[in-house]
Structure formats: structure tokens, C-alpha cells
Amino acid sequence: MNRLRKAVESNNGRTLLGAALYFYDPIFLEIAAHLGYQAIWIEMEHAPITFAEAADLCRMASGSGMLTMIRIPDSRRENILKAAECGPDIIDVAMVNEPAQMTEMLEYGRFAPAGGRGYFSVSRAVQYGVFNVNESQQSLNRELSLMAQIETVEGVHNLAELAAVPGVDLFVGPADLAASLGHPGETLHPSVREAATRIVQAARANNKCIASACGPSDFKFWIDQKIDLLFCTNDIACLKRGASLALKEAQTLLQAADESSDSGGTGAEMIASRNGVGIA
């Protein structure tokens, strides 16, 4: 049983909630852990995070009690191997459209006899060889979740074949799926929801874990799907949202101060007291 499935079972079958890191920020990771997030997504498809930084983030997240997922751009051997040696709980491969890509994931992500992962005995993934390496490798074969991201029309077309490949979990990429279906930015469009629901159902029918990511407007849809893991924010979104909220609250106070200048600023003081706005 892989670590993702174990975590879901420990969570009484409820959806695990995660946050994504698009740049190397240990402070955001620790804040996420303190807030109660249960998983961290380390983004290496679009973001400039290095494998050395990814390994550090895996260490931090593990020490904070969170699952770690590294997303890589493709199933090439060098990407699978380097991500795996960082010691994450999940490796997610973007844009999986063909079963052959999943075969590569299994070949490069599993040690012999299950696959052909290189016998590297001193990485973080095998505790640097401090303990029995062969036993550590076989444990990893069971515990590491390999996850294929389905996010295109082609992937949906091949869904039955993809879902039938044993040993690879599924991830729905709603943003790219919406674009591929001809509805960019419309992740709740009926055709997008229908395709996403089909992917979830295919995962369940084949006893696979299923994950996704979305913004607040889509939370209800994915929670209703009862998926295993939902990434519900990222570091950049949190920065934008926090900065926007602070600016709007300050602007509201300035406007109230202007409007109540004749009464000594009482309106602004009342708004500040109500919102609890302040920084040290």
C-alpha cells in the first residue's frame, strides 16, 4: 500500500488537503504545515525549482508531517530517477496521454524485479544506505505513489486503457483539461465536469487513488467527488490573495476616514476595530 493510500485511510477516508509550492519557500511550507495542510506539491513542470531544492522541501515537509508530491514534466528516465531520489511520497507526471508513458513511469520508478530503477544506494529515498538497501528499495516499490496526470482530450479518449495500467494512480488537471476541451478558464463547464467525473469513476473502478487541484470556486465539485487528495491553493495565489485583501481593507479605511472627517474619523476606527486589521 502506498503512502498516499495509507494517509487517506488514516484520515478516515476523507479528502486530504494540500498546497502547492511554485518556488523554493521553506517559510510558506512551514506556515502551511502549522495551518493544517496535509500535503505539499513541489512544482517542477512550470516552476524553476531544482532537484536539490526539491529534496530539501521533501525533508522539510516530511519533518512537518506532510505528504510530498513532486510534479515533473514528462516520463523521461532522468526526470523520474532524480525526482524519486529526492524521497517524495508521490511523483506526478504531467500530460499523460498514452499507456506507454505509464509503462516508462513504472520502469524507471520501480526497483527490480518490478522495474528497472537504477540501483543508487545513497540517496535520501533509501535513507542514504544507512539501513539494508535491498529492503529499503522493496519498501519503496510498495510505498511510492506514481501518478499520471490526465488533462487532455487525448488522455480522456484513452481513459479506459490508462486506468487499466496497474500501479499508477491518477490526477485530474482541470485547467489544461478545460483548455483542451475548448473551454479555457472554464473548469466548471459541463463538458469539463463530465470528463473529470469520468476520470474519477475510472480511477475508482480500477482501485486507484485520485487527486486534483483547483481554486475556491471549484472546491464543492471536487469535494463532492470524494477524491483522495485536493490541492486547494499555492504560494503565489496566497500572496496575491493576502496582498489584495490587505490593500482593499486599507483602501476601505482611507475612504471611511475621508467620509467621516467631520466627525473625527469615527467611521475608520469602527471599520479597523471590526476587521482587526494590523501588522507589527
In a domain, 99, yes or no: yes
- CATH number of the domain residue 56 falls in: 3.20.20.60
At residue 264, the pLDDT reads: 57
Distance CA 141, CA 56 (A): 22
Q: Which three cell numbers stand for residue 38?
A: 496535509
pLDDT score recorded for residue 274: 52
Instruction: Evaluate whether 167 touches 190 at the Cβ level (below 8 Å).
Output: no
**What's the whole-number mean pLDDT along residues 16-44?**
98
Residues 198 and 213 in one domain: yes
Query: Model pTM?
Result: 0.91
Answer yes or no: do 156 and 211 share one domain.
Answer: yes
Closest to 176 (Cα-Cα) out of 165, 167, 187, 166:
187
| pLDDT over 70, % of the chain | 93
Both 129 and 148 in one domain: the answer is yes
* 176 within some domain: yes
**Could you tell me if 214 and 2 are in contact, meaning their C-beta atoms sit under 8 angstroms apart?**
no
Best CA proximity match to 231, nearest among 34, 67, 2:
67
Instruction: Inform me whether the pLDDT recorded for 169 exceeds 60.
Output: yes
Say how many domains are in the chain: 2
Which amino acid appears at position 168 of this protein? V
Classify residue 72: in a domain, yes or no: yes
pLDDT tens for each residue of 236-263? 999 999 999 999 999 999 999 988 886 6
What is the per-residue pLDDT for 265? Answer: 52
Which pLDDT belongs to residue 277? 46
Same domain, residue pair 43 and 162? yes
- Within this chain, do residues 264 and 148 fall inside the same structural domain, yes or no? no
pLDDT value of residue 117: 97
Flag whether 121 is in a domain: yes
Does one domain contain both 223 and 255? Answer: no
pLDDT mean across residues, the chain: 94
Residues 6+ apart with CB under 8 A from 177: 150, 151, 152, 156, 187, 192, 195, 196
Beta bridge partners of 68: 40
What's the confidence (pLDDT) of residue 278?
53
Query: Are residue 224 and residue 249 in the same domain, yes or no?
Result: no
Enclosing H/E stretch for 172: strand 169-172
The confidence band for 267, taking pLDDT boundaries of 50, 70 and 90, is low
Q: Give domain status of residue 215, yes or no.
A: yes
Q: Domain of residue 145: give its range.
A: 3-241
147 located within any domain: yes
Q: Examine the domain organization and report whether 253 and 195 are in the same domain.
A: no
Indicate whether 265 and 132 sit together in one domain.
no
pLDDT at position 270, please?
52
Q: Which of 147, 195, 151, 142 is nearest to 173 (CA)?
A: 151
Is 152's pLDDT higher than 90?
A: yes
Alpha-helical (H) ranges within the chain are 3-10, 26-35, 51-63, 77-85, 99-109, 133-143, 153-157, 159-164, 174-180, 190-205, 219-224, 235-259, 266-275
Same domain, 204 and 66: yes
Residue 280 in any domain: the answer is no
185 plus 268 within the same structural domain: no
In this structure, the answer to whether residues 20 and 83 fall within a common structural domain is yes
- Within a domain: 133: yes
Residue 14 has pLDDT above 70, yes or no: yes
- What's the pLDDT tens digit per position in 199-219? 999 999 999 999 999 999 999
Exposure class string for 54-86: b at 16+ Cβ within 10 A, else e: bbbbbebbbebebbbbbbbeebeeebbbbbbbb
The x, y and z cell numbers of residue 203, run together, are 480511477
